[in-house]
A and B are shown apart, each in its own frame.
Chain A
Amino acid sequence: MARDERDGIEADLRRLLARARLAPSDAEFKNLIATVRDSRTAAAKLRVGLSRNDEPAFGLPPRRQG
Chain B
Amino acid sequence: MADELCFLTIAAAGERIRNRKLTSVELTRAFLDRIDAINDKINAYLLVTAEEALGAAETADKDLADGEYRGPMHGIPFALKDNIETAGIRTTAQSRILMDHVPTNDARVVEKLKLAGGVPLGKLTCLEFAHGAPSPDQAWPPARNPWDRDHGFTGGSSTGSGAAVAAGLAMGTLGTDTGGSVRNPAALCGIAGLMPTYGRVSRRGVIPYSFSLDSCGPMAWTVEDCALMLNVMAGFDAADPGSADLPAPDFAADLGHGVKGLRIGVIRHFFEDDMEAEPETLAAIDQALEVLAAQGAVIEEVRVSPLMDYHLVKTLIGEAEFYAIHEQDWLARAQDYGASLRLRTAEGAMIPAVDYIQAQRVRRKLAAEMDALFEGFDVVVTGTNFRPAPRIETEAAGQPEPQEAGPRKSRPNPTEVFNVTGNPAISVCTGFNVQGLPLAMQIAGRAFHEATVLQTAHAFEAATPWRGKRPNI
Contacts and interface: CB of A to CB of B under 8 A. Distances in A.
Interface of A: 9, 12-13, 16-17, 19-22, 24-25, 27-28, 30-32, 34-40, 42-43, 46-47, 49-50, 54-61, 64-65
Given A28-B401, A39-B316, A59-B198, A20 B346 contact: yes
A14 B246 CA distance: 47
A36 B347 contact: yes
B241 interface: yes
Contacts of A49: 362, 365
A46 to B, nearest CB: 5
Contacts of B410: 35
A9 to B, nearest CB: 7
Interface of B: 198-199, 211-212, 241-246, 309, 312-313, 315-316, 319, 330-331, 334-335, 342-343, 346-347, 349-352, 355, 357-365, 367, 401-402, 405-408, 410, 421-422, 447-448
A41 B270 CA distance: 22
Contact of B406 (A19, A34, A42, A65): A34
Contacts of A56: 357, 360-361, 363-364
Given A21-B334, A24-B343, A25-B401, A61 B243 contact: yes
B346 A46 contact: no
A34 B240 CA distance: 37
A39 B347 contact: yes
Q: Which 10 A-B pairs have the closest CB atoms?
A: A56-B360, A61-B199, A60-B422, A57-B364, A43-B355, A47-B358, A35-B407, A20-B334, A34-B407, A61-B244
A42 B361 contact: no
Contact of B346 (A13, A38, A47): A13
A49 to B, nearest CB: 8
Contacts, number: 127
B223 to A, nearest CB: 24
24 contacts: A9-B350, A12-B350, A16-B349, A20-B334, A27-B402, A28-B343, A31-B406, A34-B406, A39-B315, A43-B316, A43-B358, A43-B359, A46-B313, A46-B359, A46-B362, A47-B362, A49-B365, A50-B361, A56-B364, A57-B363, A57-B364, A59-B199, A61-B422, A64-B199
A16 B361 contact: no
Nearest to A60: B422
B242 A61 contact: yes
Contacts of B198: 59-61
Given A36-B350, A39-B347, A46-B309, 10 more contacts: A24-B343, A32-B346, A39-B319, A46-B316, A54-B361, A56-B357, A57-B361, A60-B367, A61-B199, A64-B447
Given A16-B350, A31-B402, A31-B408, A46 B312 contact: yes
B448 to A, nearest CB: 7
Contacts of B352: 40
A49 B313 CA distance: 13
B358 A21 contact: no
A30 B362 CA distance: 30
A21 B447 CA distance: 44
Contacts of B405: 27, 30-31, 34
A37 B343 contact: no
Given A35-B407, A46-B309, A60-B199, A55 B346 contact: no
Contact of A22 (B212, B334, B360, B407): B334
B364 A54 contact: yes
A37 B241 CA distance: 33
Nearest to A45: B312
Given A34-B406, A46-B358, A22 B364 contact: no
B351 A39 contact: yes
